[in-house]
Amino acid sequence: MSFPVKAVVFDWAGTMVDFGCMAPVEALIEVFAAEGAPISDAEARRDMGKAKHDHLSAIMANLAVAARWQASKGAAATADDIERIYRNLVPAMTAAAARASVLIPGAAETAAALAALGVKIGSGTGYTREMMASILARAAEQGYAPEVVVCAGETPSGRPAPLMTWKALIALDAWPAPACIKVDDAAVGIEEGRLAGCWTVGLSASGNGVGLTRESLAALSPEERNAKVAAAEAELRQAGADFVIEDVSQLMPVVQEIARRITGS
């Protein structure tokens, strides 16, 4: 008898690689600083998970960022400004992502456990194909190579539209959507999975919501750690997550629970 869950579609940064989702923040802060209009860590993270062009537009729409840009440049940001920043962001993001391509502990083991059950594995990302090139190679070296990778710009609309998840499921020949799972650390990715009709699993500790490396997270007091993880969990649940766990190493019991719910057992 085939396993009730047909496919799992994973995000990348903060979900399977780059604990804390550090690379995109590093690159965004770098390119805005070069423009003479610096942004904060929180401003870089607020719209994380969107395609990077959409992410830049969202940052520019932030009133505080817009005010600093106006003060620095003497005029409001234009579409040409966003295009220029995006052109600078691509190499910065590619380099930062390559440096942060270490798998999150448990990622390869979880993928192997899913494959052993006959579950197909796909992925989607707010990175472009160019940005993903070195990540894919490095992830494969570490034991993780999903069957399908859908990148930003490869669907007409990016997250929170469900199109990247649907594109992955079509390529995997995995259906119906309610027999599939979307796993993501960002609220916009959870919304994507929900709109696609999939079960959704949010990751609270390893991703953008907490925004700390494993070492920095471990260095916090228990009270500080619990507060940050709880806040990230609340954001994911508000976005519609069916389940929230701390990181991908805890996924398999949730997959088994979803399988039971699918079959009604």
* CA-to-CA dists, residue 206 to 65, 129, 184, 227, 228, angstroms: 27, 23, 10, 14, 11
Confirm if 175 and 214 have CB atoms less than 8 A apart.
no
Active-site residue, 11 included: yes
Catalytic residue among 50, 52, 167, 182: 52
Active-site residue, 54 included: no
Q: Of all helices (H) and strands (E), which one includes residue 182? A: strand 180-184
Distance CA 164, CA 109 (A): 24
Show Cβ contacts of residue 172 under 8 Å, excluding neighbours closer than 6 positions.
Answer: 7, 120, 122, 147, 148
- Contacts within 8 Å (CB) and 24+ apart, 90-95: 90/52, 90/128, 90/130, 90/131, 92/27, 92/30, 92/31, 93/23, 93/24, 93/27, 93/52, 93/127, 93/131, 94/130, 94/131, 94/133, 94/134, 95/27
Distance CA 12, CA 101 (A): 9
Q: Which residue has the tokens 């994507």?
A: 192
Q: Tell whether the torsion through CA atoms of 42, 238, 171 and 105 is positive or negative.
A: positive
Show Cβ contacts of residue 73 under 8 Å, excluding neighbours closer than 6 positions.
Answer: 36, 37, 81
**Does residue 210 sit in helix, strand or coil?**
coil
Q: Which residues are catalytic?
A: 11, 52
